[in-house]
A and B are shown apart, each in its own frame.
Chain A
Amino acid sequence: MTCDRARRLFGACWDDELTQAEREWFEAHLASCDRCRAEYDEFSRAVEWVGALPRTEASPGLEERVLARTRRAVIAPDRLPRSEPRWVAAAAVSAAVVLVVGALLLVPRASWWAPGTEPPRVAYEALRSPTPLPTLKPQAGVEGSAEVMTPERAQVDPESEVAVVPDSLFDHGEDVEFILDPVTLHRGRALVTRAGSRVRGVEGEQAIISF
């Protein structure tokens, strides 16, 4: 039993991890036990041999090879899905829609219409209500009232009774109406008002935007 205990302490003794009491006991035991002393000599020699093995040096040019492999690893595409914010995709789709709509708006003017002819007019009579919507009058001095376009800015087409809203981005010489359906707008904000005129900008859930 005493020899077993001593052998269990071989490693700790070699690593200098014995307490003072353990060391004193261990050394006393080795001094009195030839077999354990011989065993410990063999143990320590074996560990010494392992520690004395020559070091394997890195082969010449290893550094360059590592750098070359690292560059290749960096260039290789990452197979893991990258997490991009959703707004990026949404913004990209919105931008694409705007571009397509813009192109559709501009291309017919440039090439489809022959000079001197009337441009096609899109009119949807079915959308026109037989009874005009009540006209909201702007309340003077009240912030956020129903008027969103001043009378000076708004023009009225008396034939179609559809508000023609000037827009600085487009040529307003020709009237083209576009219907966005469904577009839910707040009536109070979307109505275009002009004193003494029957103006209709919104009916139900459809908006008519004129250029």
Chain B
Amino acid sequence: MSRVATDDEKAFTELVRRYQGRVTNLVSRILNDRECADDLTQEVFVRVFVHRRNYRHGSKFSTWLFTIASNLAKNEIRRRVRKRNWFSLDALQEMLKDSAIQLADPAESQETTLEREQLQAEVGRAIATVPEKYRLALVLRDIEGLPYEEIAQVLGIPGGTVRSRINRARGMLKRKLQPLLRKAATT
């Protein structure tokens, strides 16, 4: 990052290459929209470059990066809520289809593949219905695997609040997925 701060384009390219996957995944899971996630990921890196001299070298780069990504995702959610068009089932299904095809086990039967895809679609949809402030914490923790301290820095809230938000988000998610969980428990 120190090389990026001195306008080293090669270093910036390397930075984009290294982190583009994580940013795309984070944003797409928060928004449930693959296409928008692509645009937003670009915007995240443009902002990283534009504000490269604001980065404090003592702090972790990924924390700073996720802060920018989370803020942009949050803004996008709010924009969609305002437009009342914040959930695109088609986009979600398309996204999950792509991902499923990419990671499908070749030995898996067609029926099992379909079931898995449906389950992933349900889980993705359930996440998308969790309120924004809980959703961000949940995605950062359970999808990106960030430690609580880093999530606290990314979201700018105390560690205790992070724990509480994640607990509540998990509880909401469990209630939303209850029928599927019950079904899974019996099979």
Contact = CB atoms under 8 A, between A and B. Distances in A.
A58 B181 contact: no
B interface bracket (residues with beta carbon within 8 Å of A): 35 or more
A70 B20 contact: no
Which of B12, B142, B163 lies at the interface centre, i.e. has the most chain A CB atoms within 10 A of its CB? Answer: B142
A206 to B, nearest CB: 53
B142 to A, nearest CB: 5
A53 B124 contact: yes
Contact of A63 (B13, B28, B46, B174): B13
Nearest to A7: B171
Contacts of B95: 56
A49 B46 contact: no
A12 B159 CA distance: 13
Interface stretch (A19-27, A40-48, A152-160, A185-193): A40-48
Contacts of A65: 42
B170 A62 contact: no
Given A56-B34, A57-B102, A11 B167 contact: yes
Contact residues of B: prevailing secondary structure: helix
Contacts of A11: 163, 166-167, 170
Contacts of B160: none
Contact of B49 (A58, A62, A74): A74
Interface string A63-82: 10111011001100000000
A114 interface: no
Nearest to B12: A70
A54 B123 CA distance: 11
B158 interface: no
A53 B103 CA distance: 10
B102 A54 contact: yes
A73 B99 contact: no
Contact of A69 (B24, B25, B42, B124): B42
A10 B17 CA distance: 37
A59 interface: yes
B170 A43 contact: yes
Contacts of B181: 42, 45-46
Which of B41, B42, B173, B178 lies at the interface centre, i.e. has the most chain A CB atoms within 10 A of its CB? Answer: B42
Interface of A: 8, 10-12, 14-15, 38, 41-43, 45-47, 49-51, 53-59, 62-63, 65-67, 69-70, 73-74
Enumerate the 3 nearest inter-chain pairs by beta-carbon distance, A residue then B residue, closest first.
Answer: A54-B99, A58-B20, A56-B28
